[in-house]
């Protein structure tokens, strides 16, 4: 599997790629090409062009959850596809996989919308839509984890605004949050979008889904912003117990969390334009 960081909060020193507070990853496993999240803007497309990476031929688009910094780039991708089709270029029709609640509107404080900007019906004109709460294998080795069970008390967090559904609203605990897991010879590679479910809950869920206990690497957002010392201590202890080869702390992980985790875990540098092979 090759994983390309199309967009992240950081750009690596010496590279010339766009960075933004969002996340988008391209995963290539055999003949399958999976776009995991689409960031906030067209930044992931700009970086893809600079890397000569084709996003017109995708098998899957997987959304980790419905927040703006992971989904609003879909508008730019649809424009890119439209312009390419108008030029008679070869463009695949991917399947978009997400939790069924990913399309609900989300609000917080004075922001009227922090969720998806495109409706399910409009997206369905450009791609096939598959919504599921259950795990789904995308390739022989790569699985979308579905709705993640939350079992660790230290990863319980306050709701982020409200989710509008069925004509009403409720506290948004991000039940639509999900992640990917890749089964390699040395164990699992966990690929998280924001880990609103908690990265430890995500790892534990991936182990149950795949039947693989060993975890080789973790990459993605860990949702550790202004986290309490108690949560950081418990998270670091859990991750240290995995004997990871590498931990790539991306989007929504602040400096204090990275320093805390690095005291016990093999934290690696990561940023827009990075390519990893597993």
Residues 157-199 have pLDDT tens digits of: 899 999 998 778 999 999 999 999 999 999 999 999 999 999 9
The dihedral over CA atoms of 219, 93, 66, 269, expressed in degrees to the nearest 10, equals 20
- Give the pLDDT of residue 181: 98
Rounded Cα gap, residues 162 and 37, in angstroms: 21
pLDDT at position 221 over 90: yes
pLDDT digits 0-9 by tens, 95-134: 999 999 999 999 998 899 999 999 999 999 999 999 999 9
pLDDT digits 0-9 by tens, 8-53: 999 998 889 999 999 999 999 999 999 999 999 999 999 999 999 9
- Give the pLDDT of residue 192: 98
- Cβ neighbours of residue 242 closer than 8 Å, sequence gap 6 or more: 203, 215
- Give the pLDDT of residue 177: 98
- Give the pLDDT of residue 49: 96
Rounded Cα gap, residues 48 and 164, in angstroms: 34
Three-class SS of residue 80? helix
Q: Is 269 exposed, middle or buried (CB count within 10 Å of its CB: 0-12, 13-18, 19+)?
A: exposed
pLDDT mean over 260-271: 98
- Give the pLDDT of residue 166: 79
pLDDT at position 269 over 90: yes
Rounded Cα gap, residues 229 and 162, in angstroms: 27
Hey, what are 275's tokens? 């390519």
Q: Are 136 and 179 in contact (CB under 8 A)?
A: no
Q: Which residue has the tokens 């994983």?
A: 3
Rounded Cα gap, residues 216 and 164, in angstroms: 38
- Give the pLDDT of residue 4: 98
CA distances (Å), origin 62, targets 1, 25, 40, 58, 139? 16, 10, 15, 11, 13
pLDDT digits 0-9 by tens, 244-258: 999 999 999 999 999
Vertex 93, ends 100 and 163: CA angle to 5°?
A: 20
- Give the pLDDT of residue 249: 98
- Give the pLDDT of residue 167: 79
Q: Count CB atoms within 10 A of the CB of residue 277.
A: 7
- Give the pLDDT of residue 68: 98
Q: Count CB atoms within 10 A of the CB of residue 190.
A: 26
Q: Count CB atoms within 10 A of the CB of residue 17.
A: 22
CA distances (Å), origin 269, targets 60, 181, 189, 215? 27, 21, 16, 19
Least Cα distance to 249 among 229, 271, 274 occurs for: 271
């Amino acid at each position: 599997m090759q994983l390309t960081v199309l967009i992240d909060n950081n750009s690596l020193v010496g590279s010339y790629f766009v960075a933004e507070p969002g996340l988008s990853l391209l995963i290539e496993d055999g003949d399958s090409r999976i776009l995991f999240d689409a960031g906030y803007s067209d930044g992931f497309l700009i970086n893809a062009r600079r890397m000569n990476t084709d996003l017109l031929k995708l098998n899957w688009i997987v959304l980790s959850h419905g927040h703006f910094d992971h989904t609003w780039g879909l508008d730019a991708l649809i424009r890119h596809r439209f312009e390419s089709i108008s030029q008679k270029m070869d463009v695949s029709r991917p399947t978009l996989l997400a939790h069924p609640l990913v399309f609900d509107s989300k609000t917080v404080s004075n922001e009227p919308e922090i969720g998806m900007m495109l409706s399910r019906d409009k997206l369905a004109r450009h791609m096939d839509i598959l919504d599921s709460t259950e795990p789904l294998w995308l390739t022989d080795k790569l699985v979308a984890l579905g709705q993640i069970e939350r079992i660790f008390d230290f990863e319980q967090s306050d709701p982020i605004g409200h989710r509008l559904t069925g004509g009403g609203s409720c506290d948004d605990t991000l039940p639509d949050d999900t992640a990917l897991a890749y089964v390699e010879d040395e164990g699992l590679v966990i690929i998280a979008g924001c880990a609103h479910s908690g990265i430890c809950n995500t790892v534990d869920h991936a182990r149950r889904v795949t039947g693989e206990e060993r975890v080789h690497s973790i990459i993605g957002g860990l949702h550790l912003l202004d986290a309490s010392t108690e949560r950081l201590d418990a998270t670091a202890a859990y991750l240290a117990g995995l004997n990871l080869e590498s931990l790539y702390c991306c989007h929504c992980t602040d400096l204090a969390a990275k320093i805390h985790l690095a005291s016990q875990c093999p934290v690696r540098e990561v940023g827009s334009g990075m390519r990893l092979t597993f």
